[in-house]
Structure 1
Amino acid sequence: MYGGEAKSSAVEAIQAAKAGDFDKADERIKAASQAIVEAHHGQTDLLTKAANGEEVPVSIYMVHAQDHLMTGIAFVDLAKEIIELYRVMPKQ
């Protein structure tokens, strides 16, 4: 859930930057980054359990969640770069 939220917030950040609203872009990218942190907490909990010998069943839902997390991370990183490009591009 948090991985998808991160990606959605990053898309909103890019759209805001494209419109020249950098305050909103900064706020949405901050929200995206916080969603990634929350997703990492869930991932870390599961990794800790597995490292401590607890059985952590892997399901298609777990794989799907990991996919969303990794995609979210990549998308947020790319969104930050796109926002910076919009900051320095001259308005046309």
Structure 2
Amino acid sequence: MVNVEKLSETAMHIITYAGLAKSYYMQGLMYYKEGNTEAALKLIQEGEDEFIRAHHAHGETLTNEMSTSDPQISLLMAHAEDQLMSAETIKIMVMELIDVYKEKRGNKGE
């Protein structure tokens, strides 16, 4: 039997970690745009660390669900998965935009 309280708690962790990841990625892009490459890359790494935490929590939940015969889909978990995927999308877009800024600067931003 799935523990709904535990599932909700895990979903909230995923939402929190993914939200932090998105914020770090966007802040990193802003710093990069301003020419502060060191701060930008540090923030992007912090975003990656939070994304990994979210991804691990999600993977653990999936593993636990597979081991039970009572899969549980909740609106909260669906929202958590949406936040996780949007964090990944933002990361990809931020990295692409950083490449554009690099080209625009003639690779002086490294």
Corresponding residue for residue 75 of structure 1: 90
Larger RCO: 1 or 2 (CA < 8 Å, sep 6+): 1
Corresponding residue for residue 39 of structure 2: 24
In the alignment, is residue 49 of structure 1 matched against residue 58 of structure 2?
no
- Cα 1:50–1:21, aligned 2, differ >3 Å: closer, same or farther? same
After TM superposition, the score normalised by the length of structure 1 is: 0.89
Aligned residues: 91
What stretches of structure 1 of length at least 5 have no aligned partner? none
Corresponding residue for residue 76 of structure 2: 61
Partner amino acid for 1:71?
S
Corresponding residue for residue 30 of structure 2: 15
Look at both structures and tell me which one has the larger radius of gyration over its CA atoms: 2
After TM superposition, the score normalised by the length of structure 2 is: 0.76
Alpha-carbon distance in 2 for matches of 1:59, 1:50: 12
Alpha-carbon distance in 2 for matches of 1:46, 1:83: 33
Check the 8 A contact 1:46/1:56 in 2, yes or no.
Answer: no
Percent identity of paired positions between Structure 1 and Structure 2: 26
Cα RMSD for the two superposed structures = 1.6
